Structure 1
Amino acid sequence: MSEEADKFVPDKDLLAALIQMGINENLAKEALFCTGNKSVDDAINYIVNNKDERNELGRCEDSGKGMQDSSDADWEDQGLANYKMVHVVNCSLKMKTGKIAAQVGHACLGLYRSMFKENQEELNQWEELGEKKVVLKGNDAEHLKQLYHKAISEGLPAYLVRDAGHTQIASGSLTVLSLFGIEEHVENITGKLPLL
């Protein structure tokens, strides 16, 4: 870490606003440092644009010290677990692409919101490592229910989406299952399912 980064003091109001949005404190400080401590918008743009290149405070492009990519060894050294969010789509409904995208969006937000207060540390680690997500094919509603119950029995957060029935499918149809956890635990439940 550079001497400049060591002496950096983030604007307390900007830092508080970023943390209030659910952004990890270290990432918020890095974003403020790398964008000149000017605004929340600049910091968020930095975070979004550098999602795949998480780095240490003071290692950003704008600091003149160069980017340093995080490797798997880095996150293991930091004691971070590799979390993953998986979305399993009910393929028996034969939803069109846009409908699937909307339902996966509902599932992702629903699961995230259900976890926000109780699982903040896990969500922060997931964010730090790039928010790994994958969408898989499920057979039908019964299959999604079985996967849901297995996830819950193993202590993994899970969320089921039922459609409101405004467009292509009947109201109450089970469309998507989302689950979250350490990658190997999630893989124990969904690892044999094909990608959508």
Structure 2
Amino acid sequence: MEDMAEKEFEPNPEFLEILISMGLSKDIATEALFCTGNTSIDTALNFIFNNDVEDSCKYLDSTNEPRLPGERIEENAIGDESEEEGFYKMTFIVNTALKMGIGKLSAQVAHACLGLYRKMLLEGLKDALDNWEFAGEKKIVLKGIDHVHLQELHEKARSANIPSYLITDAGKTQIPPDSVTVLSLFGSEQEVDKITGKLSLL
């Protein structure tokens, strides 16, 4: 084990370049490749999205020194604990009762994404959006039951001060006018999961 610690890890240069071009820092990209054995871009991204910082295997600490998989970092080595609460994500809950076609559904999710993004910019939440973009812009699409269900989730999000945006369609194609189609939510994994944690993926 001591030999592994002394040997400097060399990330796959092609993978590293692609991850950095996606907006990830060199340190985060290197850590993800280290923890996933330099296997692929997708594996590294999945590691980043699916692991909390405290539980990840930390190749680099604050002094950029190599660390072994599973070796933990003391809290004072990574700064303020409030910065390490987990990644942000944007979640979309679709009204499945409308039985929208793939094209219609995709357009409604896109409306929900842009609508919430613009709303957050207007409300001065650019820093949270920047952190989300930096970490890869994680997005999840879930199944909602009907318009009543979406409106209930919307109210829960409002009560919890979670940014949200509800889409009501004009009804020019496929569905009746004023149909509630998609609800979008934005927040940390922990915050959003309190509202949507029991829902199934679409």
TM-score norm. by structure 1 comes to: 0.65
What does residue 130 of structure 1 align with? 136
Residue 68 of structure 1 and its aligned partner are, at CA, apart by 2.2
Q: Structure 2: any 5+ residue segments left out of the alignment?
A: 1-16, 33-47, 59-74
Task: Look up the SS of the partner of 1:143 in the other structure.
Answer: helix
Q: % of aligned pairs identical?
A: 49
Contact 1:104–1:176 (CA under 8 A) maintained in structure 2: yes
The correspondence of residues 111-150 of structure 1 with structure 2, limited to 5 A, is: 111-117=116-122, 118-150=124-156
The correspondence of residues 92-107 of structure 1 with structure 2, limited to 5 A, is: 92-107=97-112
Contact 1:88–1:176 (CA under 8 A) maintained in structure 2: yes
Residue 80 of structure 1 and its aligned partner are, at CA, apart by 5.0
Q: In 1, Cα distance between the equivalents of 2:20 and 2:108?
A: 26
Task: Report the residue type matching 1:120 in the other structure.
Answer: K
Runs (4+) of structure 1 moved beyond 2 Å?
A: 46-51, 67-74, 76-81
1:92-114 deviation per Cα after TM superposition (whole angstroms, max 9, x unaligned): 00001111100000000000000
Q: In 2, Cα distance between the equivalents of 1:129 and 1:80?
A: 12
1:16-60 deviation per Cα after TM superposition (whole angstroms, max 9, x unaligned): xxxxxxxxxxxxxxxxxxxxxxxxxxxxxx999832x7124xx7x
Task: Report the residue type matching 1:54 in the other structure.
Answer: L
What does residue 54 of structure 1 align with? 24
Task: Look up the SS of the partner of 1:68 in the other structure.
Answer: helix
Task: Look up the SS of the partner of 1:107 in the other structure.
Answer: helix
Task: Report the residue type matching 2:97 in the other structure.
Answer: S
Q: Tell me, yes or no, if structure 1 residue 183 matches structure 2 residue 189.
A: yes
What number of residue pairs does the alignment pair up? Answer: 142
Residue 121 of structure 1 and its aligned partner are, at CA, apart by 0.8
